[in-house]
Structure 1
Amino acid sequence: MRLVIARCSVDYHGRLNAHLDPAIRLLVHKGDGSLLIHSDSLSYKPLNWMSPPCTLVVEEPEEDAAAAGVVEQWRVTHRKNGDELVVQIYELMHDSTHELGVDPGLVKDGVEADLQRLLAEQVDVIGDELTLVRREYPTAIGPVDLLLRDPAGGTVAVEVKRRGDIDGVEQLTRYLELLGRDPHLAPVTGVFAAQEIKPQAKVLAADRGIRCVTLDYEGMKGTESGAPRLF
């Protein structure tokens, strides 16, 4: 990866035309050929970029550009659609190259599978004296995340989300309708469990007779967060 800090202007030509007046910016040229132009703002988002497959060629500036102070010009061309990103460098302040090696990839913590696993081990978060029947209980329209049994012999179907919205409530509603037809499972009640549940989802769940449970993921992992486990 090559990191360059330079005072530069940037022009994009292709599916759209865009221009950045001269300013100090960070240019990131990655091993896959991509070029990203960053300012000291906008968080992770570049001001402009060219995605691979593309080729970067360093050119001598034309006479009028050189007279205006341009010392080096980069032309990055996309090999499929011909789009071009032209960077004119007026002042080079930093230039370094670093070998990063192969990245092992992102390991996510707190995805729905993690929540489901923890909740299966701690069904008391849902309610007292519940027992786990099965994770990923199969139905004709897809698996129910958790199927629990209550002390009275009834069944509790639990849909687990990181962020709960009305689509998740609708999904659980369909499961409940299907499971309720099975005399071995009836009566079946539903629980919508998520780290965050949108107000519209809570309203819809209440209308469908579905109970909402807000999950404290850090607390379930054994890390004290101070957040309440139930909503």
Structure 2
Amino acid sequence: MNRPNSASLISASIFHALRTATPHKAPFLHWTADNLLPQPTLADFQNLPTCMRDMDYSEGQRATNNKLRQYLHGNSFMKFEAEQEFTSAFQAPQMIELFYEKCGVDLSNTYLRIEYTCDREGFWLEPHTDIGAKKFTLMIYLSEAHGEEWGTSLYSDKETFHSNTPWAPNRAMFFIPSDDTWHGFEKREINAPRKSLIINYVTSEWRARHELAFPEALTERLTIAA
């Protein structure tokens, strides 16, 4: 993982992909971006160690397995150089400015939270909207797809399925949480580990400080409108 100038390459790749992301209006405004990470960095994340404990998928909520969830922080995954560089890119003022310009959302004075997930057969998520403390949600798909598409399920409302976001390794899907951003995961075959990263910017109301990448550092924009 010790690659020359890897931090600048990772940042440049992420910024280019997100700056050129494609907007989609249905069933709610969201964006997709491809080729987010340089291929060596993608491989690093695809090969992160995985929590092999059995998950309880009975309720269709990630919160059911809170004690087993994994985050990029402290001495956990951030002991690896690639993860440190990746996390620093999303904490950078340039990134906060980019999201303001691209999505019209001001994420200054929030905290960065990055979850590493590995879903297996039986996994599903009920339709839900993100809680109010989450100001931004971005998912990066890591694994090669096997069999059916594995992308996030999108809904027109809590009861009405719309579509699954097409899954591809190194694809990002992101949106600004609101009352109409219903999403989840329709149960389908998962015949290999379904790995992804879930990036949130959260407010100071977030109580689980151990989940934050930089629990002592609020984000800042490059420029703040007067």
Name which one, 1 or 2, has greater alpha-carbon Rg. 1
Q: Tell me which protein shows more strand as a share of its residues.
A: 1
**What TM-score do the two structures reach when normalised by structure 1?**
0.22
Q: Tell me which protein shows more helix as a share of its residues.
A: 2
